[in-house]
Every structure is written in structure tokens, then in C-alpha cells.
Structure 1
């Protein structure tokens, strides 16, 4: 049965929009900070005289630090008021990014990247936690669509602009620009993010270890974690190898590759809002199942694509990004309702850590499934597609196993069944 979200009063709508765009801006800066490292690889390996493996460690240092800090943060994050925690973490991220821009060599850049991951990894989870605390469940799908559109915007504008800045002033400049923008965004967040302390009154003071055990001792949390990890696994067996497959097997030229991400980013910038609207109108579980089912076709098509024209490639890859990233909108809205409100920060921090680990493991598995022929063609990529399709089909059933606590954060939780 379709469900209809009730509109908020005009004043509430304005405050919610300011909050969500502030959170989206925070998401944008730390996503660009993570993504910009990969295209800077050729310049950094040349300037620092490092190997590809050393550069790979430089890239993975961020994710590994984010995973570790997310797990540690889950033990204490619910002891702090949300706004204060957000501003503290964002200030740390801004300083770490500034240090990246000022780093004179490989070792110092590595240290700065670890620091950026420590703060940036927790930021993403805390942003989602604040959406769960501040936005009623009946409007949370649209809210998550706004916040998660930051990923699309970073692909369309953030990375190309950063690369342009790097071409004009060197690899330092993008990080300095992100740090400068973060100062302004932090000031905006200080004005637009409300004080959120209700969870403090709902929780019993426990030790860090007891708090972590409480998060991981709840069976429903594990069902939600499994949902989250399956979403990541279905994406990151494929995504890291799109460029090498389309250039080696499909026939794309190196200068055509950015068009894949530009087209996908522009499309998802609009469809993320659409999936959010549908989630609130028709139900988050139903929308998740619809978008996930639609994602199977481009998963299989992309990983078995023969040599075709650029337009065919763009249609397939854009459909892949629209549906694979689109399921994250209702998926993350559901995850914010899986824990009790008093444990939401700890749960989302642990979830972010598990997502980071799953992304790394999935990319590693994807690498094991593919190989190169003597002619240099990628072989076995179709296995990545079938694995992603299998996890997606499993998700269609598994999403119904997660029990929701929507009524704890929303005046009306009528638009979603409590499973």
C-alpha cells in the first residue's frame, strides 16, 4: 500500500532544508577529499618517486583509518551532544586536510591522510545519525536523498574542479581549497544544525566496552549490518574495475573515461532526490526492493559489455550508477531506524566502519576474480557481475528481516511497517 508523508509546517521546512544542505556540504567536502587522491596518482608517484604499491597504501590509508576510528567512535559517540561532536570532528577533518595540502613529502602526506580518515570516517556516520535524530521517519527518505546527493555533486563538480586546480597550481592546491571551503561550511553548520541531546537522556551511562557490546549484542543490529554490507559488496566488486574494463575490453579512450563519471554523477544528482521522494511516498522497503531489482540488469550488462560505441557505454554505466547508488537512499533511511534512538550514534559509527571494511574486502575479491589475457584484455569480470547480482537478489529478501524503530524518532511512523 502506498503511503503519504505529511508536509512539515513552512518554518520547519526552512530549518530542515538549511540543516540538510549543511550536512550535504559536509558530506561533499569529505567525499571529494577521499576521491581526489586516486586521479592524482600519476603525479604523486612521479614527484615522490614511489611505487604503485606505495601509492595504493596512500589511498587505502584513509579507508583503513576511517574503519578503525568508526569502530572506536561507536564506543563513545552517544555520550556527546550531536552538534558539538559534529563541529569538533569537522574541525579536525579541516585541519587534517590542510596538513595534506602542506605536506612536503610522502611520509608526512601519509600521516595527514590517516588523520583525515580518522575524522572523515566518523563524520559520514554522524551526518546520517543527525538525519535520523532531527528528521521524522516519514520524511527521512527525502532527507537522505538530499544528503546523499553530495556524492553525485562530488563526482560532477568536486573532482573535475579539484583536478583543474591541481593542473594550475600543483597537487597541493585541491587540499588547500577543500580546507578553505570547510571553514565556511563549518560556520554554516554552526548556525543551522540544532542542538540534539535527546539521546543523552535516554541512555544509561556505561563503559565504552559495555556500550560497544550493547550495540553488537542486539540481533536486529546484525541484521541491519548485514543489509549494509550486502549493499557495499554488490557495488565494490564492480566499481573499482570499471575504468580498466571499459578501456581494455570495450574500447574507450583514456580521455573518454571522465564522461562515465560525469554522466553518472549528473543523473544521480537528480535521481537521488527522486528515490527519496518515492521512499517517503510508497515506503522505504518497497522502494529499496524496486531500485535494487532494477540494478541487476546494468550490473550484468556492464560486466559483460563487448566493444560498443561511447553512447552505449554511457547508457549502461549511467544506469548502473543511478540504480546501484539509488538503493542507498532508502537503504540508509532504513538503517537509521534499526537501532534505538539512544544507540543510534554508536550503531551508525559501527556501521560506517563495517562498510569501509566491506568495500576493501569486496574490491579485493573483485581483483581475485579478474585476470589479464596475453593480449591485455580483462577476463572474469562477468563473475563480479554475477556475484553482485546474487547479493542483490539476497537483499530483496533480507531487507524485510530488519525490524524498525521508526516511532522513536518520528511523530508518525505510519508510512513503514515495523517488521
Structure 2
């Protein structure tokens, strides 16, 4: 009877974990589409709002800057509240900001709405990773992170192309309105399905300013921040200029550009969960040290790509997207595990801020190097590729300097779920089945102590 009870608890726990991942991945999908859709809507925004490219650039960058500031503020406050409370407040604010974008009649009001959206949306990713850290033990965080990353793939495959269709046929306001309304059911589901996740609060005794100082002075935190900075520079020196390079230098047309996002997103959709499972099975550092060099090679190849057939360009871009997400999955799993539970919300909010600021630095650095020639082609893109590849290879050393803080108390009795836990959550989630399986109270998270253990 006891064994049957343990198995029943394990199945219930697995359904619960799948529901959590479904909620987090859905929010990830909405926030990424909201961030990405602005860029391809650029021509329409500049035409209808009668703004110049510099003003349009401010619309894009205002989100990133607001996200950076929001992350700093959240890092001093996040661990003083239950994860569910923080998550719901941030997501509600994000949806209101997105709706404001859809209703904005002028450039300045749209700019204000993007600032609000970025301030809330930029922190959501960090809180989502904190929830992953609270719900999933370290040995299964890679798989959970891989499933969460499917939100990025789905955004590329379906979200952005569908948003472009809506924007082209019905006006640029409509994609934002649809995103805001589509997020309301997820907000309600999160309110009903997520437990409080407040086991960390009893450990929080410092004031916000002291918490902020401690977050940015801890050696392990600084090593994790350094890893994230190198990863973002390795990406954003290249990615903002890839579309222009593929059109002006490689020979693709603007109408063919959606193909690279659809193909790359489709590959990532299948690859992300696999990389997550491999990270848990073979060790996160080991998988990272395999994928990161491949990513460096692809960054070099794509930035030196000559005029070629569209199919070749699509395949190379797809391989780059897989490598990029493939390195982020074990890296984020390691970063999430590098901090003790009672500091996790503050740290991951700060990490979100660091990530956005580093992305802006990378994009600015790339813009300083890349120039447009008289015939419209981009020059010095190969130099940017060398810098991106070098930054990526530097992470092979940085990833070895991060220790993993485990939330496992060696003196505590194992829970029933941990004795017979089922397979890690998969990318395809049946929310209805998960809700049926949750007939009552949520699985309880123990207030375990934290110890430092070596990473695999």
C-alpha cells in the first residue's frame, strides 16, 4: 500500500510540474513575442506614426533600458514576497503595458507604454527561473529549463509570423491587443494553480539596500554575472544585424526573412528539451562545453557568409539558433543553481537586469563596428563575428568557476515524490489533464537548508 501511495504521489507531482512549466512557458512565449514583434513592425510604425529611425530605435531600446532598471529594483525586493505574488503582480503589469501599446494613439504614448512593459516584462524571466529553482531539484533543472526555452522557439515559429500577419492586415495595434487578451487566461490559471512558494521568506532578514549590495558582492554571483555578460555579448553583437546582412550581403529578400525564423524556431522547438535532458543526464558543464564551441563556430560562419542560395542561409541560421539556445539551457540551469534559495529571487532579478544591459552593450558594440558601404552592403561584420566567437569561448573558463548551491538538506527525510519521481516534464503539456490531477492542495515545498555542492 505504501509503495502504491508513493507512486501515486509521484504521478501527481509530475502533473503538477508539467502545469507549472506550461504556465511559465506560456508567459515566456507572450513576453518574447511582445519584445520581438516591434522590430519587424518597424516600417509600419515609422510610416503611421511619422517617426524617423532614431525615434524608432528609442522604442526598441526603451524596453531594454526599463527592463534593466526594473531588474535592479526587483533584486532588492523580490525575496521579501512569495514567488506567486511577485509573478502575478509582474505579469499583470506586463499585460497592462502591452494593452497600453495596443491602444497608444501617438508616438510618445507608445514610448511610455513600452517603458512600462519592459519594466515588468524584463523581470518576469528572472522570477520564472526562480520558480524553476524552487520547484525542481538541481538534478532536473536542466530538463525544466529546456522546456521553458520552448517558449522562445514557439515565438519564432508561430508568434512573430502570426503577429506580422495581424499587423500587416489590421494595423500594428492589433498584435499587442491580442497578446494582452491572450495573457489573461494564463494569469488566472497561474493564480489558481501555483502554490505560494514562500519557503524562502523566513530567511529574509536584510533590508532592500543591503540585499542589493549582497547580491552584487557575492563571489559566486559575480562569476555567474560574468558568464551571462559574455553570453549576451556573444549573441547581441551579431543578432541585431543578421537580417540586414542576409538581405544586403547574402542575397535574401525581405519576404524570405520569415523562413529563417520559422525553420530555426522549429529546430529549436525539438532541440531545446533534448539539450535539457542531456544536461541532467550527462552533466550541465559537460553539455555546455560541447555546445558552446559549436556556437562559436556558427557565429563565425554566419558573419562570414558570402552570397549564397537561400536554402543554405536558412540552414546555417537554423543551426546557429539551435547552438545559441543549446548553450543557454545548461548555462541558465547552472546560473539558477548558483544561489541559495533565500537569495534566489533577488539574484535572478539582478541577473535579468545584467542580461538586458549586456544585450544593449553587445548591440551598441556591434553597431560601432558594422558600417554600411556606398552600395548598401554591411562591412566589418566578420570582425563582429570574431568578437562574438571569442566572447563565447571565454565562457568555457567562466562556467567552471561557478559553484552550485543545493536546496537539499542531507538530514531531512526524503519526500514521497522524491522516492518514485517520474520522467522530467516534456515540452507538450496537457493543461486539462494536469488540472484534473490537481484535485486539492498543491505538493508542499519543504523549507530545506542550503549547502554548497560541486557541480557535475
Task: Give the TM-score, by structure 1 length.
Answer: 0.95
Q: Is the 8 A contact 2:304 2:382 kept in 1?
A: yes
Match for residue 27 of structure 1?
A: 28
Question: Which whole-Å deviations, capped at 9, do the CAs of 1:101-155 have from their partners, x for residues lacking one?
Answer: 1111111111111111111011111111100111111111010011111011111
Aligned partner of 1:311 in structure 2 is 311
Match of 2:215 in 1: 215
What's the Cα RMSD here?
Answer: 1.8
Please give the secondary structure, in 1, of the residue aligned with 2:200: helix
The 1:34–1:109 alpha-carbon spacing in structure 2 relative to 1, beyond 3 Å, is same
The SS at the match of 2:184 is helix
- The alpha-carbon deviation at position 409 of structure 1 amounts to 8.7
CA distance in 2, matches of 1:241, 1:409: 48
Structure 2 unmatched runs, 5+: 1-6, 419-449
The answer (yes or no) to whether the contact 1:96–1:112 under 8 Å persists in 2 is yes
Alignment of 1:76-91 (within 5 A): 76-91=77-92
CA distance in 2, matches of 1:340, 1:325: 25
| Cα distance in 2, alignment partners of residues 226 and 40 from structure 1 | 33
Structure 1 alignment gaps of length 5 or more: 1-6
Residues 321-355 of structure 1: CA deviation (Å, up to 9, x unaligned): 00012111111111111111110100001111011
Q: Aligned equivalents of 2:376 and 2:370: distance in 1?
A: 12
Instruction: Tell me which residue corresponds to 2:440.
Output: none
| Structure 1 CA distance for aligned equivalents of residues 455 and 172 of structure 2 | 50
CA contact (8 A) 1:82 1:195 kept: yes
Are residues 1:232 and 2:206 paired?
no
Preserved contact between residue 341 and residue 408 of structure 1 (Cα < 8 Å): no
CA shift at 1:300, angstroms?
Answer: 1.0
Counterparts of 2:189 and 2:409, CA distance in 1: 25
**Equivalent residue, structure 1, for 2:354:** 354
Aligned to 2:94: 93
Within 5 Å, give how 1:303-342 maps onto structure 2. 303-342=303-342
Matched residue, 2:379: 379
Structure 2 CA distance for aligned equivalents of residues 170 and 253 of structure 1? 23
Partner of 1:285: 285
Task: Tell which structure's C-alpha radius of gyration is larger.
Answer: 2
Alignment length, in residue pairs?
Answer: 411
Deviation digits for residues 288-346 of structure 1, max 9, x if unmatched?
11110111221111010111111111121111100012111111111111111110100
Find the residue that maps to 1:405 and give its secondary structure: strand
CA contact (8 A) 1:340 1:408 kept: no
Cα distance in 2, alignment partners of residues 284 and 418 from structure 1: 8
1:359 and 1:51 map into 2 onto residues whose CA distance is 23
CA drift of 1:408 comes to: 4.3
